[in-house]
């Protein structure tokens, strides 16, 4: 049983801490920064919106307030059969460079993206961004800067969780700070693994048809690498997004995200072959595959740990890891079920850890069993306007006569 404890513990430790620390250290020792020439590009921001009437106007204002640094930008909003005033909000803004495409029925996010992509010229850069994510000043100029390098096929922005993100937001902010540091390290060692849908940009000719049953941000990213291009990380290209405070809704979102992400990862499993992709293969496996598979290793570690202690074959390390696991899982499950326990220090981290791994296990199993999630229905219980960013529209963006 000790061998099972050692192996499972090593896998968990490497996945949660070891890979990130190793890559950050390697980046400091052997990585290099990649200066990008300031070549102006023509870009289109594509926003797929489903019942985003509460947020879409603020989203567009945060984009229109950007200093583009010489880049040319248009905005295309695709309303996916919205049943609220999403389309009316876009029309009411009435500014130059904003287009609206309305799908008559709810077809899903992939259909909305594909409809929008069909209306974008092949020589442009496509900026993808969630409808409720507001942009910090200078975000788009920094996001587009890497495209001066012809080897760059995509550029990945930096996600920031809004300070008013509720109970889960506190833990989510810690996770994304770590993940952003990891993306920076991966970039210095050659290229970042994949985008997160909040804010990223890709050369239009590298984007194919988005599959309806896969995570669009992941498969678009993997498609860029499969074509021989690099994904650059653009620190300072910050998009701020609120998170739901409802644990049930967040669990469902994470299950769906993992299911679709795993299916997309398996569709590009060849990229995890070092003979084909080199160092990127290691990064992709550790950052995407192992991070999800560790959800199945955690219960093995706990059972092996309990067996060692029950059998009397336990030293201080074995006892310590058992106490730590019971504390994290116990607090996570307890605070998940009982809101009163959420005041306990570290409760948000414990809940996110427990819920996150439960969702990853469920999502992988759903993908492997062939089950498909329902159509995309965004959860928006925290308004984007809670995020303090610049929303003023420059006079140059207003249509004549306005």
Q: Pairing relation of β-strands 152-161 and 230-241?
A: parallel
pLDDT at 174: 86
The helix/strand/coil state of 216 is helix
Query: What domains does the chain contain, in order, with CATH numbers?
Result: 32-243 (3.90.550.10)
145 CA to centre of own chain: 21
Please provide the distance, in angstroms rounded to a whole number, between the alpha carbons at the two ends of the chain: 74
Q: What is the pLDDT of residues 248-267, one digit of tens each?
A: 888 888 999 999 999 999 99
Q: What is the mean pLDDT of the chain?
A: 90
Closest CA to 235 of 307, 310, 146: 146
Joined together, the tokens standing for residue 19 give 């890979």
- Please check whether residue 53 is in contact with residue 91, taking contact to mean a CB–CB distance below 8 angstroms: no
Return the beta strands (E) in 210-298 as ranges: 230-241
Structure tokens that stand for 201 in this block: 């940009």
- Cα separation, 127 vs 75, in Å, equals 9
Cα–Cα distance for residue pair 213/262, rounded to 1 Å: 10
Of 368, 148, 365, nearest in space to 266 by CA: 368
Residue with tokens 């140059």: 396
Give dist(CA 368, CA 362) in Å, integer. Answer: 10
Tokens of 114: 């594909």
Question: Rounded to an integer, what distance in angstroms lies between the CA atom of residue 275 and that of residue 271?
Answer: 9
The owner of tokens 């300072």 is 236
pTM above 0.95, yes or no: no
User: 156: helix, coil or strand?
Assistant: strand
Q: Is 400 left (phi over 0), alpha (psi -120 to 50) or beta?
A: beta
pLDDT recorded at residue 402: 44
- Per-residue DSSP letter, 375: P
CA 147 centroid distance within chain: 21
The full DSSP string for 359-373 is HHHHHHHHHHHT--P
Residues of the chain short of pLDDT 50, as ranges, are: 395-396, 400-402
Nearest in space to 349 (alpha carbons), one of 178, 204, 167: 167
Question: Which residue bears the tokens 């499969």?
Answer: 226
295 dihedral zone (left: phi>0; alpha: psi -120 to 50; beta): alpha
Q: What does the pLDDT read at residue 401?
A: 42
CB 199 within 8 A of CB 239: yes
Task: Report the pLDDT value the prediction gives residue 162, as an integer from 0 to 100.
Answer: 81
Which pair of tokens denotes residue 208?
């194919």
User: Do β-strands 152-161 and 125-129 pair in parallel, antiparallel, or remain unpaired?
Assistant: unpaired
Tell me, what's the pLDDT at 394?
52
Q: Which of 314, 346, 312, 304 is nearest to 329 (CA)?
A: 346
Question: What pLDDT score does 204 carry?
Answer: 98
The reported pLDDT for the residue numbered 374 is 61
DSSP H or E run through 100: strand 98-103
């Amino acid at each position: 049983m000790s061998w099972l404890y050692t192996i499972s513990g090593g896998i968990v430790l490497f996945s949660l801490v070891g890979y990130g620390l190793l890559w950050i250290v390697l980046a400091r020792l052997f990585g290099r920064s990649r200066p990008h020439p300031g070549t102006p590009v023509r870009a289109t921001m594509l926003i797929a919106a489903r019942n985003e009437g509460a947020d879409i106007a603020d989203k567009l204002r945060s984009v229109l307030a950007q200093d583009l640094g010489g880049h040319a930008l248009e905005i295309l909003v695709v309303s996916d059969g919205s049943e609220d005033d999403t389309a009316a909000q876009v029309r009411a803004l009435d500014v130059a460079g904003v287009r609206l495409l309305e799908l008559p029925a709810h077809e899903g996010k992939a259909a909305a993206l594909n409809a929008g992509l069909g209306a974008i010229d092949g020589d442009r850069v496509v900026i993808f961004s969630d409808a409720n994510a507001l942009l910090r000043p200078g975000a788009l100029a920094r996001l587009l800067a890497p495209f001066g390098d012809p080897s760059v096929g995509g550029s990945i922005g930096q996600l920031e969780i809004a300070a008013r993100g509720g109970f889960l937001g506190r833990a989510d902010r810690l996770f994304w700070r770590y993940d952003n540091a990891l993306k920076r390290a991966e970039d210095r060692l050659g290229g970042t693994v994949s985008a997160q849908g909040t804010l990223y940009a890709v050369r239009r000719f590298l984007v194919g048809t988005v599959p309806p049953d896969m995570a669009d941000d992941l498969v678009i990213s993997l498609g860029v690498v499969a074509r021989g291009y690099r994904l650059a990380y653009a620190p300072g290209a910050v998009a701020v997004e609120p998170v739901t405070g409802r644990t049930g809704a967040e669990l469902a979102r994470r299950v769906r995200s993992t299911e679709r992400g795993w299916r997309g990862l398996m569709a590009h499993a060849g990229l995890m072959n070092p003979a084909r992709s080199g160092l990127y293969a290691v990064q992709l496996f550790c950052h995407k595959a192992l991070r999800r598979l560790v959800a199945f290793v955690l219960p093995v570690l706990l059972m092996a740990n309990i067996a060692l202690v029950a059998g009397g074959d336990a030293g201080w390390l074995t006892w310590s890891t058992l106490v730590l696991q019971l504390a994290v899982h116990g607090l996570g499950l307890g605070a998940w079920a009982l809101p009163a326990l959420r005041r306990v220090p570290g409760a948000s981290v414990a809940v996110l850890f427990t819920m996150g791994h439960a969702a990853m296990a469920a999502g992988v199993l759903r993908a492997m069993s062939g089950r498909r999630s329902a159509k995309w229905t965004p959860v928006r219980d925290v308004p984007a306007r809670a995020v303090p960013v610049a929303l003023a529209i420059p006079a140059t963006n207003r249509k004549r006569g306005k």
